[in-house]
A and B are shown apart, each in its own frame.
Chain A
Amino acid sequence: MKKHIIIGPVLLILIWILVVYLHLVDAFFLPGPFTVLAKLGEALGRGIIIPDLIATLERVSVSFIVALALGLPLGLWLGYSEKIYDSIEFIIDFFRSTPATALFPLFLLIFGITDTSKIAVAAFSATLIIIFNTAHGVMHAKKSRLLAAQIMGATKLQIFRWILFWESLPQTFIGLRSAVSLSLVVIVVTEMFIGTSVGLGRRIIDAQITYEIPAMYAIILLTGIIGYLLNVFFILIEKRFLHWSGK
């Protein structure tokens, strides 16, 4: 753990305290950090927010797993067959650049007002990110190692399994990390608007509508913490399995 890691959060809270203390923003719209933290502690402690937390995490996990199961093999395959990738690169780039939330109404038409449509739209956008990064990881594999294996008489399958797959992993992991973050974003946004009574997104919008401002901040903070922890989790996996990356 880096020594200075604590400075950031402390600084953020100090600025927050200062803004509240100096009345730079109306206290009604920005309660102090301790009020918000107390609210968050209370919500978690009394368990009122736990079902929402679980619902959101479940949706994010399912959409991520679907994206992984589709995106990883497709990305590997497309990266390997560069000609096919070149011919469909536009499609991938186009949908990757389209805001996922703009597609949500379309998914609602297909899957109805269900959890499935939320998960599907998150999985869809996460899949594209995984495909894109994995394919690029394969395509930009160091040629020297490929050549070395070729000269040794490796078959295409062996080269794929023992060289390309590994070469692509660092880039693939960047994709996985972005994909899980995006899943969280899309899930929380879709929860805010349509057809659910549980989920952190739902809680945020409810708190906003009823002017329970400290509760709103508390849940926003919670989603931030989840996003951050997911990121840390992936970095830890990376450190464990990709210890060789860049060496």
Chain B
Amino acid sequence: MEVALSAKNLKKSFNNTEVLKDFSIEIEKGKITAIFGPNGSGKSTLLNILSGITKSNGGSFSIKDFDTFKSSYIFQNYRESLLPWRTNFENVAFPLQIQKQSKSEIKQKVEEIQKFFEFKFDWNKYPYELSGGQQQMLAFMRALITNPNILFIDEPFSALDYENNLLLREHLQKYYLAFKPTILLITHNIEEAVHLAEKIVIFSKKPTTVIETINNPLPYPRSIPLLKTEQFHHIKDQVLSVFQKAANL
């Protein structure tokens, strides 16, 4: 396997509570890896360290061919990460603007991504005029427009209703299959994890360790009918059993 991201002996404490203690993990390149674990198991902390939001108290990590402009992060709360003073177009264009790309380049890329997702926005309107699902879709497009080779996603569907949740999962899958970035997805929803990920890493309570990594060989594209099959349930049950141990339920 080709490793895209590896972390060794990471340490992180908040107010004397050890969240990560000698934590190590390897993430495979070009795969969707889901991280699943009990509340407060340091999932977000890990993601924040790897994406550079927070500093660890020790240990090290490395991302292969790392480039700030080629890594993206999708936040849980689209409302607090989109920029309400910018139109929908300007929001999606924002990362490219930071990269000082020309207006015509930006326009072309926004058109391309819109075409790719077949998602219709009124580009001159503002994010607050969109529904929750559309706003998160806008946040997705903003993260993907740079064509990242690594993508950090923190519970992206948790603020959405089930219908939009499924819809966005399909969009994410479509993008993944077309461009094959490395995706690290944090979720607290087993179905999401099994639906999207090829590897499901289950975390313990803090101080966090990896309890088990479950391989999910279900073939892509994983459509909604697949969610009803026995194979799907089998893997879901497997994850649940490990989770049960992890959370002492």
Q: Which residues of A contact B (CB under 8 A)?
A: 142, 144-145, 147-155, 158, 162-163, 166, 169, 243-245, 247
* A144 in complex: contacting residue of B68, B69, B80, B127, CB < 8 Å: B80
Contact: A149 with B128, CB < 8 Å?
Answer: no
Query: Can you offer 21 A-B residue contacts whose CB atoms are under 8 A?
Result: A142-B80, A144-B75, A145-B80, A145-B83, A147-B53, A148-B81, A149-B94, A150-B52, A151-B52, A151-B53, A151-B71, A151-B72, A152-B69, A152-B94, A152-B146, A153-B68, A155-B98, A162-B94, A244-B85, A245-B84, A247-B84
Cβ-neighbour of B51 out of A151, A169, A243 (below 8 A): A151
Report the minimum CB–CB distance from A243 to chain B (whole Å): 8
Select which of A148, A153, A169 is within 8 A of B99 by beta carbon.
A153
**Looking at the complex, which one of B81, B97, B128 makes contact with A244 (CB distance below 8 Å)?**
B128
B95 within 8 Å of A (CB atoms): yes
CB nearest neighbor in A for B51: A151
Q: Which residue of A lies closest to B129 (CB)?
A: A247
Within 8 Å CB of A153, what residues of B?
Answer: 68-69, 98-99
Which residues of A are found within 8 Å of B61, using beta-carbon distances?
none
B77 interface residue, CB < 8 Å from A? Answer: yes
Known A-B contacts A151-B51, A152-B95, A153-B99; the reply to A163 vs B83 at CB < 8 A is: yes
Q: Check if A166 sits within 8 Å of B98, measured CB to CB.
A: no
Q: How far is the CA of A154 from the CA of B96 in the complex (A)?
A: 10
Besides A149-B98, A152-B69, A152-B94, 13 other A-B contacts (C-beta < 8 A): A144-B75, A148-B81, A149-B94, A150-B52, A151-B51, A151-B52, A151-B71, A152-B68, A152-B98, A152-B146, A153-B68, A244-B128, A245-B84
Give the CA-CA distance A152 to B75 in the complex, in Å: 12
Closest to B146 in A: A152
- Kindly state the interface size class of chain B when it binds its partner: 20 to 34
Secondary structure of the A contact surface, majority rule = helix
Contact A166 B68 (CB under 8 A): no
- Knowing A151-B53, A244-B85, A244-B126 are in contact, say whether A158-B80 is a contact too (CB < 8 A): no
A148 with B98: CB separation less than 8 A: no
Query: For residue B54, which residue of chain A has the nearest CB?
Result: A147
Q: Give 1 or 0 for each of B63-98: 1 = CB within 8 Å of chain A CB.
A: 000001101110101001101110000000011011
Nearest A residue to B83 by beta-carbon distance? Answer: A145
Instruction: State the Cβ distance, B109 to closest chain A Cβ, in Å.
Output: 14
B51 cross-chain contacts in A, Cβ below 8 A: 151
- CB atoms of A144 and B77 under 8 A apart: yes
Establish whether residues B73 and A148, one from each chain, have CB atoms under 8 Å apart when the complex forms. Answer: yes
Whether the pair B85, A158 counts as a contact (CB closer than 8 A) is no
Cα A169 to Cα B84 with chains together (Å):
12
How far, in angstroms, from A177 to B72 measured CA to CA in the complex?
Answer: 40
B228 shortest CB reach to chain A, Å: 36
> Which residues between 123 and 157 of chain B lie within 8 Å of chain A, taking CB atoms?
126-128, 146
Q: Which A residues lie within 8 Å of B85 (CB)?
A: 166, 169, 244
Which residues 170-215 in B have Cβ within 8 Å of A in the complex?
none
| Most B CB within 10 A of own CB, among A148, A153, A245 | A148
B70 to A, closest residue via Cβ? A153
- B98–A158 CB distance below 8 A: yes
The residue of chain B having its C-beta at the shortest distance from the C-beta of A154 within the complex is B98
Looking at B53, B73, B77, B84, the one whose CB has the most chain A CB atoms below 10 A away is B84
CA separation between A153 and B127, bound complex, in Å? Answer: 22
Task: Name the residue on B nearest A143 (C-beta).
Answer: B80
The 7 closest A-B pairs by CB, nearest first: A153-B68, A247-B128, A244-B84, A144-B80, A152-B95, A148-B81, A166-B85
